[in-house]
Amino acid sequence: MPVQPSAPISLSLPRRSPLFFRFTFHFLLFTFHFSLLTLLLACASQRPSEVTPQARATREIAPKVGLALGGGGARGFAEIGVLRVLEQERIPVDLAVGTSVGSLIGALYCDTGRVLDAEFQAVAVTEEDIFDYKALAILSGGLVKGERLEEFLNTHLKHKTIETMTVPFAAVAVDLMAGRAVAFERGSAAQAVHASAAIPGVFVPVEFGGRLYVDGGVLDPVPVDFARQKGAEVVIAVCIPPGPPAARPGNPVEVALQSVALMSAEMGAIKAKAADVVITPDVGGVPFDDFTQKKRLIDAGEAAARQALPAIRAVLANKAKRVPVEGAP
């Protein structure tokens, strides 16, 4: 029997609906995007983390401190007490400018930069070292020549010229011819202090360099301005208040001393307002020309300075600067 060919086998797939193909397309597209996102996240996780730069090391620079030491006759010895406290509290004094007795105290301190030396010399000063009355001095414009003052300084100062002193110093006097205050920053320390303390009508005006000089307190009793000019960023002023005379002034010298003291104290209080800190010792009833109460005056200066310490420290902290340390990463 002949073999009959079998019926052809149909290879056609069952028909799918359009919805099936659309679903399949979106599924594959989703799978592709998901795989791509997973790959990108994996790569991102392998990137090196960013390094946060470290802050540069810095150091603090303290502001330059200057003292403006005012006049006040014998009462100015209170300024030794102020210097004592600053040294004990390790508050550096980078420069000092003084007027009248302030120039004397300033020179004694700046000579070595040690308060003990200045105090020892200041205690040794007597009224005779300041007021060497000469009968014929009146013919030269005063009663006191001031030669003993220069002699005392030339004997006791280790550095005879201002520019060689341990701490930068200036003495303020008034140029009578020019009618202005000047600061001596070079030359003879004794002569500069003499000029700064030459009270008009009492001391003979000091002449050198073709100029006449009298007490700096006439125009600048508390030399804050000159301390700024010398580079002080913080100025501590010592302002000596006026005191009543021990008795009614009985001669021209006493009248002149008390008059100058009152005038300088009033003007000094105004000038001192330009300082960062003002220290006003309570010198009470110590007369302008009383050189016998130095211990009391020094103690008064010390007490006033201790009261001012919070204000001094606040100003120093406020004006301190921070600068990068050289060579630091």
Residues 100, 103, 196, 264: which is the catalytic one? 100
Tokens of 40: 């990108």
Backbone dihedral region of 73: left (phi > 0), alpha (psi from -120 to 50 degrees) or beta?
Answer: left
Query: Who's near 92: CB < 8 A, 6+ residues apart?
Result: 62, 65
Give yes or no: 215 in active site: yes
Angle made by CA atoms 197, 183, 140, in degrees to the nearest 5: 40
Half-sphere exposure at residue 259, Cβ-oriented, CA atoms within 13 angstroms: 12
**Angle (CA) 162 171 285, round 5°:** 130
| Nearest C-alpha neighbor of 220 from the set 198, 196, 187, 204 | 196
24 class by beta-carbon count within 10 Å (0-12 exposed, 13-18 middle, 19+ buried): exposed
Active site residue 100: yes
Catalytic annotation, pick one of 94, 129, 132, 215: 215
Tell me if 240 sits within 8 A of 71, measured CB to CB.
Answer: yes
Measured in degrees and rounded to the nearest 5, phi and psi for residue 161 equal: -110, 150
Active site residues: 100, 215
